[in-house]
């Protein structure tokens, strides 16, 4: 019969349309809210999704996986006295590894000792160059630069971020990437302990030194 | 752990057959043969006819500044097996000229034009040697080592101006023309007469024709694109029509030419990885694969076992979502606006969710590293992949099949409209589903296995009619085969490290050349990478399937109706990011 | 928009009339109409275009904002989403498309490439930001911005539309020359911007 294929195809679309309402009813019967809840969004992004597929941004948002990356940001620790401890040490790995070369860092020297100050004097990222590849975060040895989850950053002008705009607290970082934060924190603690143990050993060695003064050279 | 395949020169000894004009390429870690320029045609004919290398996959040039230039050809047998590289060296004195191979392999047409455009190597005997990616009148040949663009800063990255005294400055402020521009000395824009497109229109068929009754009639010239909803990006086709029949056609490319290769030669090896994402932006996972293979061959490092499986899993997922989107957009082009493509995008979104969870980004995954991958697949994401592969994608593919494949309108538009026959498809260097739909069972995963594809049991999808319907159905076949591979890979994947190397932002790549190629969803994606031992590649060339496949567009379209042209074009599944690079 | 947002705060409406009557300004009504039917041009350039298409599909569904009608012709479009890398070769067609769009028209630079050249900025065939030629209303960073980020940017555009007023709308003013008209660049040895011929000539003469 001519037209059978078309009818079959229309049957598929009709089923899709119908599924939305049967699912709605099923959720009501189960006493759950299908829209505007995290559970609902999760279900609509799973294999069991049927009928409606829309996640109604901005009222609902997709659940971002932890590894999700958008723009880079710098991490600082809040100190008890309200000051910020910037983790970046201006080591220069991120500007070196950055594929589009969108990171600019000014490192200055201490006027007294002449040695470089770890904290960057200026830190610029041109977000209109950045390709969100995540290399800066991946290769940063100090966990000082990370990739953000926040994508609502559109603006009425060009986006060149200076240090003020780039800095975000480590609590924020913990909130978006809890597993990564935990892993890095654990690594930091073991490293600190190892360092402490080493120092203790050295101190012990030094403390032991006066007890055994080197034998005076005998003539 | 799989070691990278040794760079093979197949089993032919070209030097013994042509002792006077062919020598083995003796440079360390180079493969293939160097052919005398004057005997190129003779040797190439023997390579094709005597040795059976019927598919000339890639043509590219290398600028060995300051003294010589080289044209590199990679030929393969459609029956499978390793390939044969042959090269021609010419002194770097203009005009640099090499005989064109267009009469042996018509598929070199656009590639030779590209080499002319970017490197300034002339191909004598090429009937239509115009610029292809840039416009006529553009100054210079950009891929030559001594050519510098407006925003030129340094020869290689990383730039010294970024750290430690990285005062932020816009590149515009450093350029004398205040923008990404460079003009010859004493250039006067007011006196400039644009070359226009006389050459392009001249290359097309005649405007006025006279039929046998002595009546002369005009042909219409139609420009389709670069802004056209059915050209899948910024593709432009210029055609002459007689009534509704296409009498002549020329593709115009370069509207998305982003200078991938020039930037790639300035990048370090690792920095190129995220750039490859942006080639075929539907399939960043397979693009990464090809590039990683090429560089791993150069570095001679193995790939971690688990990473090998992960690579297969993500590549096949990528192939599935690509083909789903292909079917959706094909139906758009056929006039079934939106519904099929909306359905296809649903499955794609679910696959992209997986990609985002493991790599961080939906589209630009940047997931591969040399020796493995960057991140392991966590258990919950693995579960999600299993859900997709076993429970979600198979019924949805069947549903799409049920919805479309018997549709009478679809059948009327597609069945019996010939795309290309097997012989022409090979001559035109077509690869991928279009070649297989023409009846040539050539799939690199089987013909010249890379990674661990030799461990899986799957059929090479092939169909024999070569019409549009076959080109559509073969995509559904391939989705089903990909699901088979995924099933095996998911069951076999071992635990273990995901990278054989330590993470490092500087990799040491010994000098040499490598050609890494994979079966991307669009066809053969090849990366020709040349290292001279420095942190940056000396030459980085992408053999893009979309670009090479489009060579045959003229051959396919001439004689068909313009309404069918949209569908013919859709069958190539072109992505301009890869086509123009 | 419900009557809550429609109403002007200074007018007290009796309780029983609240669902039937709204007191508002012509501006608000006018802008509400415009912001709820922004028709984008069906125009994709590169990778970002795929995310733009994804934003049109079922999961993100731009139709909820009255933006589902993507017009292939610039004559019917209000919004040019520059979605991807603008190359020098592609620039003249883009400028022509923009010039053909009727007023009021808006331009969104989607992604790093359209905003400022992006990762390909250093390339010889790449225009470092469409704002050198067209007046851009909203910049959306990201490479590529996810569909949600695109929608966030379009909401930002709607906010901009809300702030415009009919009294100062330039598109109703009588004018001899269209102030938004952009001369189409010429492809020479490099891209020639007709507005800058004198600069280019001077700089080229200085070149050694």
Is the pLDDT at C1 greater than 80, yes or no?
no
Q: Mind listing the pLDDT tens digit for each residue in A146-162?
A: 999 988 888 888 888 98
- In B161-200, the residues whose Cβ lies within 8 Å of chain A are 161-169
| SS (HEC) of B146-157 | CCCCCCCCCCCC
> E strands along B231-355, which residues?
236-242, 245-252
Percentage of chain C beyond pLDDT 90 is 16
Encoded tokens for B24: 């083995």
If we measure between CA atoms, which residue out of B462, B454, B459, B457 comes closest to residue B438? Answer: B462
| Contact at CB, A131 and C142, closer than 8 angstroms | no
Instruction: Going residue by residue through chain B, which has 581 residues, state the pLDDT in tens, using 9 for 90 and above.
Output: 565 554 455 567 788 888 888 888 888 888 888 898 888 888 889 888 888 888 898 999 999 888 889 999 999 988 888 888 899 999 988 788 899 999 889 989 899 999 999 998 999 888 888 888 888 888 889 998 888 888 888 888 888 888 888 888 888 888 888 888 888 888 888 888 877 777 777 777 666 677 777 777 778 888 887 888 777 788 888 888 888 888 888 888 889 899 889 999 999 999 999 999 998 889 999 999 999 999 998 988 999 999 999 999 999 999 999 999 999 888 888 877 788 888 889 899 999 999 999 998 888 999 999 988 998 999 999 999 999 999 999 998 988 888 888 888 888 888 888 888 888 899 999 999 999 998 899 999 888 888 899 899 998 889 888 888 889 999 999 999 999 999 999 999 999 898 888 888 888 888 899 998 999 999 999 999 999 888 899 999 999 999 999 999 888 888 888 888 888 888 888 888 888 88
Residue from the list C125, C146, C197 with its beta carbon closest to the beta carbon of B258: C125
- Among B491, B334, B488, smallest CA distance to B404 is for B334
pLDDT of residue B487: 93
Instruction: From chain A, pick out residues whose CB is under 8 angstroms from the CB of B408.
Output: 2-6
Chain A residues within an 8 Å CB radius of C118: 100, 128-129, 131
- Give contacts of C 62-81 with A, CB under 8 A: 64
Question: Using an 8 Å Cβ cutoff, are C113 and C48 in contact?
Answer: yes
- pLDDT confidence bin for A211, thresholds 50/70/90: low
pLDDT at B2: 61
Q: How far lies C19's CA from each of C11, C22, C203, in Å?
A: 14, 8, 66
Confidence of residue A219 (pLDDT cuts 50, 70, 90): very low
Cβ–Cβ < 8 Å for B435, B471: no
Q: How close does chain B come to A31, measured CA to CA in Å? A: 26
The long-range contacts involving A82-85, CB below 8 angstroms and separated by at least 24 positions, are: A84/A167
Query: Among B202-211, B346-355, C126-135, C192-201, whose mean pLDDT is lowest?
Result: B202-211
**How many other CB atoms are found less than 10 A from the CB of residue C169?**
13
Helices (H), B74-208: 109-119, 171-174, 198-203
Question: What per-residue confidence (pLDDT) applies to B3?
Answer: 58
Local structure of residue B297 (DSSP, 8 states): H
Mutate to test the interface with C, among A154, A158, A160 (most CBs of C within 10 A): A154
Closest to B369 in 3D by CA, of B322, B310, B448: B310
- C145-to-A55, C110, C140 alpha-carbon distances in Å: 17, 7, 7
Structure tokens at B372: 């493995």
**Which chain B residue's Cα is nearest to A53?**
B346
List CB contacts (< 8 A) between C46 and chain B.
Answer: 233, 256, 258, 278, 281, 576-577
Look at C116 and A126 and tell me if their CB atoms are within 8 Å: yes
pLDDT value of position C4? 59
**d(Cα B405, Cα B289) in Å, to the nearest integer?**
32
Helix (H), strand (E), coil (C) string for B68-95: EEEEEEEEECCCCCCCEEEEEEEECCCC
Separation CA B98–CA B121 (nearest Å): 7
* Other Cβ atoms closer than 10 A to B11: 9
Considering only CB atoms, B162 lies closest to which of A49, A53, A104, namely A104
- Measured in residues, chain B has a length of 581
Query: Could you give all domains of chain C from N- to C-terminal order, each with its CATH number?
Result: 3-33 (no CATH), 38-168 (3.40.50.12280)
Distance CA B65, CA B42 (A): 28
| CA–CA gap between residue B541 and residue B530 (Å, rounded) | 9
Tell me if C128 sits within 8 A of B179, measured CB to CB.
Answer: yes
Q: Do A132 and B275 touch (CB under 8 A)?
A: no
* Residue B556: CA count within 13 A, CB half-sphere: 34
Cα of B458 to nearest chain A Cα, Å? 25
Whether cis (ω within 30° of 0) applies to the bond prior to B447 is no
Contact B171 C121 (CB under 8 A): yes
Which residues of chain A does C64 touch, with a Cβ-Cβ cutoff of 8 Å?
54, 56
Residues A120/A88, Cβ–Cβ less than 8 Å? yes
One CATH from 3.40.630.30, 2.60.120.580, 3.40.50.12280, 3.30.70.3270 for A72-181: 3.30.70.3270
Q: Taking each helix axis from N to C terminus, what angle separates B305-333 and B562-571, rounded to the nearest 10 degrees?
A: 170
Instruction: Give chain C's length.
Output: 208
Minimal Cα–Cα distance from B440 to chain C, Å? 31
The pLDDT tens digits for A158-199 are 888 988 888 888 889 999 989 888 988 898 899 899 999 998
Judging contacts by C-beta atoms under 8 Å, the chain A residues touching residue C60 are: 54-55, 57
Enumerate the residues of chain A whose CB falls inside 8 A of the CB of residue B159.
101
Is residue C189 within 8 A of residue B138, CB to CB? The reply is yes
Tens digits of residue pLDDT in C9-54: 777 777 777 777 777 778 888 888 888 888 998 888 888 888 998 9
Q: Measured on CA atoms in the order C142, B535, B273, A177, is the torsion positive or negative?
A: negative
| Chain C residues with CB-CB distance to B234 below 8 A | 44-45, 90
| A126–B158 C-beta distance less than 8 A | no
- Please classify residue A111 by burial: count the beta carbons closer than 10 Å to its beta carbon, then call 0-12 exposed, 13-18 middle and 19+ buried: exposed
Q: Using alpha carbons, list the distances in angstroms from residue B269 to B52, B145, B272, B276, B529.
A: 35, 18, 6, 11, 10
> What domains can be seen in chain B, in order of their start residue?
14-124 (3.30.460.80)
Partner-chain residue, chosen from B166, B359, B384, that has the shortest CB–CB distance to A104? B166
Separation of alpha carbons B456 and B487, rounded Å:
10
Measured CA to CA, the distance from residue B153 to residue B175 in angstroms comes to 10
| Residues comprising chain A, all counted | 219
The neighbours of chain C, by the rule of 3 or more Cβ pairs under 8 Å, are A, B
**What is the per-residue pLDDT for B474?**
92
Terminal-to-terminal C-alpha distance of chain A:
119
B160 to chain A: which residues are within 8 Å by CB? none
Kindly tell me if the per-residue pLDDT of A213 is higher than 60: no
> Of B487, B480, B309, B327, whose CA–CA distance to B400 is shortest?
B327
Partner residue facing A151 (CB), from C121, C148, C155? C148
Q: Indicate yes or no: CB of A95 within 8 angstroms of CB of B163.
A: yes
Among C48, C63, C122, C149, pick the best mutation site for testing chain B contact (most B Cβ within 10 A): C122
pLDDT at B73: 92
Chains near A (3 or more Cβ pairs under 8 Å):
B, C
| Residue C3 reports pLDDT greater than 80 | no
User: Does C8 score more than 90 pLDDT?
Assistant: no
CB-based contacts of B63-66 (< 8 A; 24+ apart in sequence): B63/B92, B63/B119, B63/B143, B63/B144, B63/B145, B63/B539, B64/B92, B65/B92, B65/B144, B65/B145, B65/B146, B66/B92, B66/B146
The closest CB to that of B274, out of A66, A103, A131, belongs to: A131
Q: In chain B, positions 136-165, which contact chain C (CB-CB < 8 Å)?
A: 137-139, 142, 149-153
> Taking the domains of chain A in order of start, what are their residue ranges?
7-63, 72-181
Q: Are B536 and B543 in contact (CB under 8 A)?
A: no
How would you write chain A as a 3-class SS string? CCCHHHHHHHHHHHHHHHHHHHHHHHHHHCCCCCCCCHHHHHHHCCCCCCCCCCCCCCCCCCCCCCCCCCCEEEEEEECCCCCEEECCCCCCHHHHHCCCCCEEEECCECCCCCCECCCCCEEEEECCCCCCCCHHHHHCCCCCEEECCCCCCCECCCCEECHHHHEEEHHHHHHHCHHHHHHHHHHHHHHHHHHHHHHHHHHHHHHHHHHCCCCCCCC
Please answer whether residues B259 and C119 qualify as being in contact, where contact means their C-beta atoms are separated by less than 8 angstroms.
no
Which chain C residues are Cβ-neighbours of A55 within 8 angstroms?
A: 59-60
B464 contacts chain C (CB < 8 A): no
């Amino acid at each position: 019969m001519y037209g059978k294929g078309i009818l079959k195809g229309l049957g598929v679309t009709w089923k899709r349309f119908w599924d939305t309402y049967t699912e709605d009813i099923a959720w009501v019967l189960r006493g759950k809210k299908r829209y505007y809840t995290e559970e609902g969004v999760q279900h609509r992004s799973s294999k069991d999704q049927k009928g409606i597929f829309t996640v109604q941004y901005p009222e609902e948002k997709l659940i971002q996986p932890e590894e999700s990356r958008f723009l880079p940001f710098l991490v600082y620790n809040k100190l008890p006295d309200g000051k910020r401890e910037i983790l970046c040490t201006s080591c220069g790995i991120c500007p070196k590894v950055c594929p589009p070369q969108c990171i600019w860092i000014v490192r200055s020297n201490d006027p007294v000792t002449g040695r470089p100050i770890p904290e960057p004097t200026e830190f610029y990222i041109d977000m209109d160059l950045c390709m969100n590849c995540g290399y800066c975060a991946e290769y940063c040895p100090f966990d000082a630069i990370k990739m953000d989850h926040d994508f609502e950053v559109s603006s009425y002008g060009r986006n060149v971020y200076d240090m003020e705009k780039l800095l975000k607290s480590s609590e924020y970082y913990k909130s978006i990437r809890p597993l990564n934060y935990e892993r890095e924190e654990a690594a930091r603690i073991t490293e600190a302990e190892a360092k402490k143990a080493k120092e203790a050993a050295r101190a012990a060695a030094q403390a032991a030194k006066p007890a055994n003064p080197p034998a005076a050279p005998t003539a | 752990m799989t070691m990278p395949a040794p760079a093979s020169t197949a089993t032919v000894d070209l030097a013994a057959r042509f002792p006077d004009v062919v020598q083995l390429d003796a440079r360390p870690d180079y493969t293939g043969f160097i052919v005398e320029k004057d005997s190129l045609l003779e040797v190439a004919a023997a390579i094709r006819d005597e040795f059976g290398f019927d598919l000339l996959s890639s043509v590219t040039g290398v600028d060995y500044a300051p003294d010589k230039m080289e044209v590199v050809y990679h030929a393969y047998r459609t029956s499978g097996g390793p390939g044969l590289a042959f090269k021609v060296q010419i002194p770097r004195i203009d005009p640099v000229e090499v005989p064109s191979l267009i009469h042996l392999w018509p598929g070199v047409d656009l590639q030779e034009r590209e080499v002319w455009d970017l490197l300034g190597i002339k191909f004598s005997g090429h009937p239509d040697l115009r610029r292809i990616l840039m416009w006529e009148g553009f100054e210079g040949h950009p891929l030559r080592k001594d050519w510098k663009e407006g925003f030129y800063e340094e020869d290689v990255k990383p730039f010294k101006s970024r750290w430690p005294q990285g005062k932020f400055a816009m590149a515009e402020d450093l350029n004398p023309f205040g923008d990404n521009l460079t003009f010859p000395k004493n250039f006067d824009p007011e006196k400039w007469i644009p070359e226009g497109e006389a050459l392009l229109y001249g290359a097309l068929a005649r405007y006025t024709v006279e039929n046998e009754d002595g009546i002369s009639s005009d042909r219409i010239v139609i420009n389709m694109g670069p802004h056209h909803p059915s050209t899948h990006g910024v593709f432009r086709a210029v055609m002459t029509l007689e009534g509704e029949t296409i009498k002549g056609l020329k593709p115009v490319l370069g509207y998305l030419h982003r200078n991938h290769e020039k930037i790639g030669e300035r990048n370090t090896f690792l920095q190129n990885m995220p750039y490859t994402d942006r080639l075929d932006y539907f399939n960043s996972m397979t693009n990464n694969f090809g590039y990683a293979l090429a560089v791993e061959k150069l570095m001679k490092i193995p790939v971690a076992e688990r990473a090998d499986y992960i690579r297969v899993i993500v590549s096949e997922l990528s192939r599935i979502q690509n083909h789903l989107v292909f079917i959706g957009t094909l139906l758009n082009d056929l006039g079934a606006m939106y519904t099929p493509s909306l359905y296809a995008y649903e499955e794609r979104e679910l696959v992209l969710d997986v990609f985002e969870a493991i790599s961080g980004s939906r589209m630009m995954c940047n997931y591969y590293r040399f020796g493995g991958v960057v991140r392991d697949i966590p258990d919950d994401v693995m579960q999600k992949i299993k859900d997709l592969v076993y429970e979600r994608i198979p019924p949805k593919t069947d549903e799409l099949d049920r919805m479309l494949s018997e549709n009478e309108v679809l059948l009327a538009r597609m069945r019996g409209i010939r795309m290309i026959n097997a012989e022409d498809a090979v001559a035109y260097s077509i690869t991928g589903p279009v070649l297989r739909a023409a009846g040539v069972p050539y799939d690199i995963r089987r013909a010249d296995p890379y990674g661990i594809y030799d461990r899986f049991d799957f059929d090479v999808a092939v169909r024999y009619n070569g019409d549009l319907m076959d080109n559509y159905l073969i995509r559904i076949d391939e989705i089903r085969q990909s699901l088979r591979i995924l099933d095996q890979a998911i069951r076999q994947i071992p635990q273990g490290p995901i990278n054989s190397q330590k993470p490092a932002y500087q990799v040491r790549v010994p000098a040499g050349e490598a050609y890494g190629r994979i079966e991307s969803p669009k066809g053969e994606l090849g990366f020709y990478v040349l290292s001279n031992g420095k942190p940056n590649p000396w030459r980085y060339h992408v053999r893009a399937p979309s670009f090479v496949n489009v060579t045959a567009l003229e051959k396919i379209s001439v004689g068909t109706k313009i309404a069918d042209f949209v569908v013919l074009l859709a069958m190539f599944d072109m992505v301009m990011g890869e086509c123009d690079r | 928009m419900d009557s809550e947002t429609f109403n002007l705060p200074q007018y007290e409406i009796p309780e029983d009339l609240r669902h039937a009557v709204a007191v508002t300004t012509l501006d608000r009504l006018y802008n509400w109409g415009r912001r709820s039917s922004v028709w984008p041009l069906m125009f994709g350039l590169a990778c970002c275009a795929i995310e733009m298409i994804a934003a049109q599909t079922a999961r993100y569904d731009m139709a909820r904002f009255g933006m589902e009608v993507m017009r292939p012709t610039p004559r019917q479009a209000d919004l040019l989403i520059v979605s991807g890398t603008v190359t020098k070769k592609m620039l003249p067609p883009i400028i022509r498309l923009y010039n053909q769009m009727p007023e009021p028209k808006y331009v969104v630079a989607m992604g790093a490439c359209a905003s400022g050249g992006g990762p390909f900025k250093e390339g010889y065939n790449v225009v470092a930001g469409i704002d050198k030629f067209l007046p851009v209303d909203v910049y959306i960073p990201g490479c590529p911005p996810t569909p949600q980020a695109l929608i966030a940017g379009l909401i930002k555009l709607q906010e901009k539309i809300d702030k415009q007023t009919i009294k100062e709308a330039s598109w109703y003013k009588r004018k001899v020359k269209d102030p938004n008209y952009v001369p189409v660049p010429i492809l020479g040895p490099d891209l020639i911007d007709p507005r800058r011929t004198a600069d280019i000539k001077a700089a080229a003469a200085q070149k050694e």
